[in-house]
Structure formats: C-alpha cells, structure tokens
Structure 1
Amino acid sequence: MPLPLVAAGLVTGLALIAAVGAQNAYLLRQGLRRQHVGALVTLCAASDVVLIGLAVLGVGAAVQQWPAFLTLARWGGGLFVIGYGLHVGWRALRPGETLVAGAGRQVSLRRALTTMAALTWLNPHLYLDIIVLGSIANTHGPQGRWWYYAGLVGASVLWFSALGFGSRRLAPLLARPRAWQVLDALIALVMLGLGAALLTGG
C-alpha cells in the first residue's frame, strides 16, 4: 500500500472538511443532543464517498462545464442556510434547553436526515471542493488516484465520527441553558454568514 499517497489524501481531506460550516454546525448540535448521530455521521461520510469518488472519475469536470448547476446550488443552498440560521437564532432568543442527554425537543430521524442532506448537497462550495480534490487525485495516475481517494475517504469518516460522537464530551461544559443559548447564537451567526456569502457569490 502506498502509504504516502493515503497520508496525503488524509491530510488534505481533513484540511478541507474540518472547516466551520453549516454541515459541521448541524452535526455538532445533534451530537450534543445525542439525536440520530450515527445516521447523520453515515450520511455525511457516504455523501463524501460518492461525491469524491465521482470527482476522481472525472465528473467534477462536467460540473465545472455547467455553470447553471452551481448557480442553482448557490441560490438554493444560500436561502436554505439563511432560513435555518433564522430558525436557530429565534431559538437562541428563547433559552430553556439543556444539554443533558435526551433533553430538549426530539427531532425525527426523517427531519434530521432531510436537513443534513440539504445542508450537504445544496452547498456549492462542496462541489468546488470535489472539483479540486478530483483534479489533485488524478495527478497521481490511474492507480495512485484511488490510494489518494482512500485517504480522503478516511479523513471524512474520521472527522464526522469525531465531531458527531465526540461532541457529547462537551455536554458537561454546556449543561446550563445560557450556554446552550450562546451555542445556538454562534451557530445562527455562522449559518447567516454562510448564506449571505453564497447569495452574494462569496
């Protein structure tokens, strides 16, 4: 196994995935509440497996040649993220939840997965990232690109698992309603900022 290629893919993947974004913020919140974490981690990782795999196969080049797709994703994603940010912001103004396991309103599995899918697949930055990753992977040749891809997939599984399942360790630090309110306010600001950047082309 060409370990240097796998390691390069792992490092590159972590550098891109471990950025503050709508997807990570939502997974963090659900992880803290311990609601549907396994399903959400699986969805995030599986999305990367499919999309990065398609990019390595060259589909990213096709996306790049279809500007209308990125425009639709930019507007759809921007409006959705802003809507979700407003929802979280409104919730931040009404403190009362704690981060005790099982506390707070239970979100259905279907709703949680639908929200995560929208935050993931309607993000045009995701498609720009896979175009870049596909281009880098293919510089390593027909065989090497798949070892690089293995590192990228490993980074995705590692990051989302750590964020989703590891976030519960923060629960004791955020057990007071005020702390939960601050967290929601920060998530709302991130969502609104990202949504505005998408709509303005940032």
Structure 2
Amino acid sequence: MEVTAFLKGMGLGGSLIVAIGSQNAYLLKQALKREFVLTCIAICVICDIVLIGMGVAGMGKLIVEAPALLFWIKIAGAGFLFWYGLRAARSALNPGVLKAGDNNPAGDRGAVIAAMLAFSLLNPHVYLDTVVLLGSIGGQQPGNGRLYFALGAMLASFVWFSSLGLGARYLTPIFAKPRAWQILDGVIAVVMWTLAISLFV
C-alpha cells in the first residue's frame, strides 16, 4: 500500500512538474548560463516540498475557500510574467549580449534568487497543482499512504529540477551561437505572456 501511494505521488507529481512553465523556463536559462544553478534548483525543490507538504496536511481547502487571495496572487503573477516576458523579448532582439560560456560576468545572486522565488510562488497554478490537486489526492490515501504519496511527489520534484538544472550543460555547444539564445529568449517571452494571459482566461 505504501509503495503504491509512493509511486502514485511520484507519477502525478512528475506529470504536473514537467509541464512547460515559467519556473522551468527560468531554471533552464540560468542553467545554460551556468549562473547560481544549484541555488535555483534548491529554491524550486524546497518550494515544492513546502507546498506539497502543506497540501497533504490539508491546507488545500484554505486555498479553495480564499478566492480573494488567489485573485491578488494572479494580479502579482501576471504583472511579473508580463514584465519578464518583455525582458526576454528585448534580449531576443539584442543577440550581441547573449553568449554562452564560462567567461561571462555572473549576474547578481540576490536578483536571481528573487526571480526564482517569484517564478515559484507568484503563479496561482503552482498552488492549484501542488497544494490543492496533489493535496486533495494525497489526503485521501489511507494510513501512512498520505506520507508516502507526499514523499513520492517531492522526489519527483527533486529528480526533475536536478535533471533540468544539471543536464542543461550538455546543450552548451548549441547555445554557443547567439542565434540559439535568440530563439530561446523568444520562446521564453511567448511562454511568459501566454501564462500571464491564461491567469485571467
């Protein structure tokens, strides 16, 4: 029973986490730039662990019963996603400053941490997926199944974000060309704007 709950949590958690979104897109870009990758991975995993734990513990009901809170999270999230989409679009139009490699000056750690936290916590879909959906399903598991379900979902998060962050370095030869960065930033801009619009559709 515990093994079944664990595998169920890992499967469902993985299917939700792997979906293309702002968090994954930002982590991928930082990984390709090789800037504060472990920090970004840690933030993604820790945020998921906390949110999944809250959901399985029963906090999902509070999210469902607080539409005003979700509304303001949507406002903040949409504004942030639209702003970052503009930044990505501007970078796509200026490929001269986009070069992969180890000789580039590192960005500001504080700014990267703030951005990663924003991508992780200012998206209402994150709460609906982790706290509400995973929480409601995990909470229905009998006995210790609730704990094993949560652990499975948390492990899926750790495996995915670690693989994405640490595996992106193998794409470095492709992104040694400014054109590849143009395409990536263009895709990121579209993803950010699409997510911003989807929050109100």
Give the TM-score band, short-chain normalised: over 0.9
Task: Report the counterpart of residue 6 of structure 2 in structure 1.
Answer: 6
Q: 1:64 to 1:177 in 2, by over 3 A?
A: same
TM-score computed with the length of structure 2 as normaliser: 0.95
User: Displacement, 1:142?
Assistant: 3.9
- Distance in 2 separating the partners of 1:49 and 1:176: 36
Percentage identity across aligned positions?
40
Match of 1:58, SS? helix
Q: Is the contact made by 2:6 and 2:145 (CA closer than 8 Å) also made in structure 1?
A: no
Within-5 A mapping of 1:51-200: 51-96=51-96, 97-103=98-104, 105-129=105-129, 130-198=131-199
Structure 1: gaps spanning 5 or more residues = none
User: Displacement, 1:62?
Assistant: 0.8
- Distance in 1 separating the partners of 2:59 and 2:139: 12
- Distance in 2 separating the partners of 1:102 and 1:54: 41
- Distance in 2 separating the partners of 1:141 and 1:2: 9
RMSD after superposition: 1.2
Q: What amino acid does structure 2 have at the position aligned with 1:138?
A: G
Q: Is the contact made by 2:12 and 2:153 (CA closer than 8 Å) also made in structure 1?
A: yes
User: Displacement, 1:148?
Assistant: 0.5
List structure 1 runs of 4+ shifted beyond 4 angstroms. none
Match of 1:145, SS? helix
Match of 2:194, SS? helix
- Distance in 2 separating the partners of 1:174 and 1:87: 19
Q: Is the contact made by 1:34 and 1:102 (CA closer than 8 Å) also made in structure 2?
A: no
Q: Deviations over 1:118-152 (max 9, x none)?
A: 11111000111120100100111241110000100
- Distance in 1 separating the partners of 2:103 and 2:117: 23
- Distance in 2 separating the partners of 1:195 and 1:102: 34
Q: Deviations over 1:74-97 (max 9, x none)?
A: 111001000000011001100022
Does residue 1:22 correspond to 2:14, yes or no?
A: no
TM-score computed with the length of structure 1 as normaliser: 0.95
